Chain A
Amino acid sequence: MTRFEEQLKQALARQDPPEDFNARVLAAVEECRVRRSTGAWRWRARWAHSWQLAPALAALLALSLGAIYQQHQRIARGEAAKEKLLVAMRVAGAKLHEARDRVSKVEAMEVQ
């Protein structure tokens, strides 16, 4: 090693950090550990709360399904009533037509 390199080695000699360095590193490690465990606990707690909401969500879903079913039934009943009315009108039309034929025949016989 040259003299210059020796001087460089001296210039770049190791130095100690401030005295409280160890304490600060260990405190930071502890803080990090606490933060991580608190974070995990919060995450679990959040999930626990969401499970408490499950019955309410189930009730809401049941109510919605009930409303949809009732609406469907109402439409079906309306359709059936409409169908019955049409049949009745068709029957009435046929009866009317038959009665008119009879009246026509009776009138023709009376004229003869």
Chain B
Amino acid sequence: MLPTFAETVETHKAMVYSILWHFLRDRSLAEELAQEVFLELHQSWKSVKSSRHLVFWLRRVTTHRAIDLVRKRKIRPEMSLEESGEPTALEQLHDSFLASYLGRMVASLPEKQRMLVVLRYQEEMELEEIARVLGMNVSTVKTQIGRALELLRAKTTHRLKPNEG
């Protein structure tokens, strides 16, 4: 049995908001778009068949709206991979700072790779599920995630390497 609309908002707001926040790296924009996604869900409520379909619907609409917004407004990541600042010694010590640094690095990835990484590591989705949500081939998803990880790992290793000498 399907939950009510209000229960759905309560249950899935963190998922929708976090996908948008990690992808857009702009809290007010993420909140605004998350609201729009739920409004759209309310309008399509009758077409939702099951709880599983509901989650699929939310992930699909959220990811597509986010990518559309970035393309339409030509939003650029806050910084490029090259520009992302050196973490301080403190950042090297604390996980929360490392998480923040990695979040910024993810935000600087190209849009498709960024969304793939968010779905894979935030939502812990299987490659097949990601492919279905984004309408891509499983092999492309796998390759793109591999490339994104390689890029992130290389940059992070370089940045976080203890200063020599």
> 8 Å CB contacts to A: which residues of B35-87?
35, 38-39, 42-43
Near B by CB (< 8 A), chain A positions 1-43 give: 4-5, 7-18, 21-22, 24-26, 28-29, 32
Count of A residues near B, CB < 8 Å?
Answer: 22
CB-defined contacts of A32 to chain B, threshold 8 Å: 39, 42-43
Question: Which secondary structure characterizes the binding site on chain A?
Answer: helix
B18: A residues at CB distance < 8 A: 12-15
- The total of interchain contacts (Cβ-Cβ below 8 angstroms) comes to 86
Q: Is the contact region of chain B dominated by helix, strand, or loop, or is it mixed?
A: helix
The residues in B between 126 and 165 inclusive whose CB is less than 8 angstroms from any CB of A are 149, 152-153, 156
Could you say which residues of chain A place their CB within 8 Å of the CB of B34?
A: 17, 21
B: contact size bracket = 35 or more
Known: A4-B156, A7-B95. 15 other contacts (CB 8 A): A5-B149, A7-B102, A8-B117, A8-B149, A14-B18, A15-B18, A15-B21, A16-B13, A16-B17, A17-B13, A17-B30, A17-B31, A17-B34, A22-B13, A24-B35
